[in-house]
């Protein structure tokens, strides 16, 4: 039986950027390298917007966060962003992951609760995400199935949505 760890969730910054990037790279090696570079926004936010717009993503806002343990180590990440196409109704979850050595301790649930809170505070009706069908994301899928409904599938992507008007407990 796992014991929930005490963590703090802080904004991604220059001090924790490298550790967060290593975690994302280790967790999502099957994603293209450039897609995992969203953390560049910390060093130069203009980079993200230029890149996202050139890629046709039309991202209108982005905030990235890290979960830190008692030793100030990055053990999880989560991001929330908006697209121009559905900016009035939804936030999107990004780079949601927990270090494999710390899984099963409630960290993912805390990060997801945090993202849900951010989306609600922004006045959004939905929290959306897409995930891959890659086997390494099976643990995340189990958590998503409890809260989100599948809204579509496309190649190796699964799109999900959480109605924020309903009470949920990850």
- Tell me what pLDDT residue 1 has: 35
| 18 falls within a domain | yes
Residues of the chain with pLDDT under 70: 1-4, 31-61, 169-170
Task: Go through 89-128 and write b for each residue having 16 or more CB atoms within 10 A of its CB, e for each that does not.
Answer: ebbbbbbbbbbeebbebbbbebbbebbbebbeebebbbbb
Backbone angles phi, psi at 54, to 5 degrees: -65, -30
Q: Which two tokens stand for residue 162?
A: 């959480």
Q: What is the pLDDT of residue 2?
A: 47
Structure tokens that stand for 56 in this block: 């046709």
What pLDDT, on the 0 to 100 scale, is given for residue 133? Answer: 86
Q: Residue 131 domain-assigned?
A: no
Would you say residue 74 lies in a domain? yes
If we measure between CA atoms, which residue out of 68, 59, 63 comes closest to residue 8? 68
- In-domain check, residue 89: yes
Q: Specify if 128 maps to a domain.
A: no
Sheet containing strand 8-11, edge to edge, reads 8-11, 59-68, 74-83, 90-98, 126-132, 157-163, 149-154
CATH number at residue 68: 3.40.630.30
Tell whether 2 is covered by a domain: no
Structural domain range at position 14:
8-122
Assigned domain for 29 exists: yes
Residue 164 lies inside a defined structural domain of this protein: no
Q: How many domains does the chain have?
A: 1
């Amino acid at each position: 039986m796992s014991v929930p760890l005490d963590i703090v969730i802080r904004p991604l910054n220059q001090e924790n950027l490298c550790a967060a990037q290593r975690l994302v790279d280790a967790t999502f090696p099957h994603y293209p390298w450039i897609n995992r570079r969203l953390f560049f926004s910390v060093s130069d936010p203009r980079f993200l917007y230029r890149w996202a717009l050139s890629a046709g993503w039309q991202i209108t806002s982005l905030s990235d966060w890290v979960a830190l343990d008692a030793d100030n180590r990055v053990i999880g990440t989560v991001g929330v962003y908006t697209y121009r196409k559905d900016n009035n109704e939804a936030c999107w979850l990004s780079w949601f992951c927990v270090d494999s050595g710390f899984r099963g301790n409630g960290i993912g649930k805390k990060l997801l609760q945090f993202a849900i809170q951010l989306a609600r505070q922004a006045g959004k009706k939905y929290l959306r995400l897409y995930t891959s069908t890659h086997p390494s994301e099976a643990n995340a899928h189990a958590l998503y199935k409890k809260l989100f409904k599948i809204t579509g599938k496309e190649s190796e992507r699964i799109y999900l949505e959480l109605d924020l008007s309903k009470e949920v407990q990850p």
